[in-house]
Amino acid sequence: LPNQDLPPASSPDYSFSLVALLFSVPALGGALFGYDIGSTSFAITQMQDANFAGVSWWKTVQSSPAWTGTIVSAGAAGALLGSFLMFLCADFLGRRTELRLGGALYAAGALLESW
């Protein structure tokens, strides 16, 4: 009789809604990363076209993979720089203040982009 020593099965000690929330945050991050890749691709495509670029140096972007790479890398470089600066400020500001400041800067950037 192999199962005599096991206690009866009970309900799980976790909430399904909390587990769903826990997994939805990284999923949202992945979706936003995909959106970022798509918008960067769209911006590069627009910068390589004379009708849509709005800049006089569109032909340089079109003919130079180095310039295209530089433009694409600028977003990642900005994120790296911002992360490094916030890392330096973490001990000085404290965790909550740093998160609030980061959220405010993100909201300000979103407002500037929509304008």
Report whether 31 contacts 38 (CB < 8 A): no
Q: What is the pLDDT of residue 66?
A: 92
pLDDT at site 104: 92
In the three-class reduction of DSSP (H, G, I as helix; E, B as strand; rest coil), residue 15 is classed as: coil
Rounded distance between C-alpha atoms, residue 52 and residue 103, angstroms: 32
**What is 61-74 written as a DSSP string?**
HHH-HHHHHHHHHH
Q: What does each of the 115 residues of the chain score in pLDDT, given as a tens digit?
A: 566 666 666 666 778 888 888 899 889 888 888 888 888 888 888 888 888 888 888 888 889 899 889 988 888 898 899 888 878 888 888 888 888 988 898 899 889 988 7
